[in-house]
Amino acid sequence: MKIGGNTIKPGNVIEHKGGLWRAVKTQHTQPGKGGAYLQVELKNLRDGTKMNERFRSSERVEKVRLEQKDYQFLYREGDMFTFMDSETYEQINLSAADVGEDEAFLQDGMVVAIESYEGEAIGMALPENVILKVTETEPVVKGQTAASSNKPAILENGARVMVPPFVNIGDVIVVNTAERAYVRRAD
């Protein structure tokens, strides 16, 4: 499906320069001279390389629809991750490059959406939110509550996120996997 170059949104997958690319970040820019354009940071779905590209509204790009199917994460062996289809019990493997930075958020038994294009598994999508325990963070200093400044925290998976001052070591929190950001305390 062809779409206008200025309508690309983060998360869209496009076919560009002979490869499949996912839009990571987009920014509309209107320079003093010339026409407006969309600056897009793209990540290659097959090899993980990144590039920045400019798209004008007059340009057309091919938007690709990936097939998504739920699989359960079983285990990691070396550089390969094994997932199982809960209905057919069929297992598939993804390489560490296909999983990428999302590896830190994988938990035993977690259900993820495996993305495939023309029958080839090329990546995965994590659940929107995950629940993790805070293992390291700075203590609250009295008198600093006037400013709502967040503090860094390290989670049980090694990920680093900014949390509100009231979060302490041992607290269980909800983290947005796409933005790698604190959402709220877990119930």
What is the CATH architecture of 67-125?
Beta Barrel (2.40)
pTM of the predicted model, to two decimals?
Answer: 0.68
What distance in Å separates the CA atoms of residue 184 and residue 187, rounded to the nearest whole number? 9
What does the pLDDT look like over 80-100, one tens digit per residue? 888 998 889 888 888 887 777
Measured CA distances, 78 to 46, 93, 135 (Å): 19, 11, 26
Intrachain domains 67-125 and 129-185 with the same fold: yes
Average pLDDT, the chain: 84
pLDDT at 146: 56
Q: Alpha-carbon distance 48 to 30, whole Å?
A: 29
Question: pLDDT digits over 140-178, tens only?
Answer: 666 655 556 788 888 888 888 888 888 888 889 998 887
**CATH code, 129-185:** 2.40.50.140
Domain 2-63 carries which CATH code?
Answer: 2.30.30.30
Q: What residue ranges do the domains of the chain occupy?
A: 2-63, 67-125, 129-185
